[in-house]
Amino acid sequence: MTLDVMQIQKILPHRYPFLLVDRVTDMVEGKSIVAYKNVSISEPVFEGHFPGHPIYPGVMILEGMAQAGGILSFLSMGEMSEEEIANKVVYFMSIDKAKFRNPVRPGDKLEYRISVIKQKGTIWMLKGEAFVDDKLASEAELKAMIVDK
């Protein structure tokens, strides 16, 4: 399954400059998702992080993983109409074991690889990894819950 940014915006409530998933390239419902973000020097975050030495903030990488995990969770909950999706939101409950291995810079294609550790009802435990050119940039365990707005 692939999704473009227009389809992603029907699932996630996030918008520019906080929509951090450009495309989903692969997904297996209830199991895993692969998505990416193209990191551009024109993003507002680079005005202050860091002038003359731009590094994509780790917290933004984690948020991108969380958004990809949110897409996986929503699309794994069975058939839902656009209206039903619009009335729900994914809340992240915890981020554990976060590690930052390599810096992410403007021009990089940041690939999120998220897999399900465990799922019970509306609660999801996910393993998130972020890669640039198949090199691990960051990893974390994420816990989320799908709730009504």
Active site (catalytic) residues? 49
Q: What are the structural domain ranges in the chain? A: 5-148
* pLDDT tens per residue across span 39-66: 999 999 999 999 999 999 999 999 999 9
List Cα–Cα distances, 1 to 17, 29, 41, 121, in angstroms.
Answer: 25, 9, 29, 23
List Cα–Cα distances, 138 to 51, 60, 102, 113, 145, in angstroms.
Answer: 22, 11, 7, 10, 22
Cα 24 from Cα 8, distance rounded (Å): 8
Arch. (CATH architecture) of 5-148: Roll (3.10)
* pLDDT tens per residue across span 90-148: 999 999 999 999 999 999 999 999 999 999 999 999 999 999 999 999 999 999 999 99
The whole-model pTM stands at 0.96
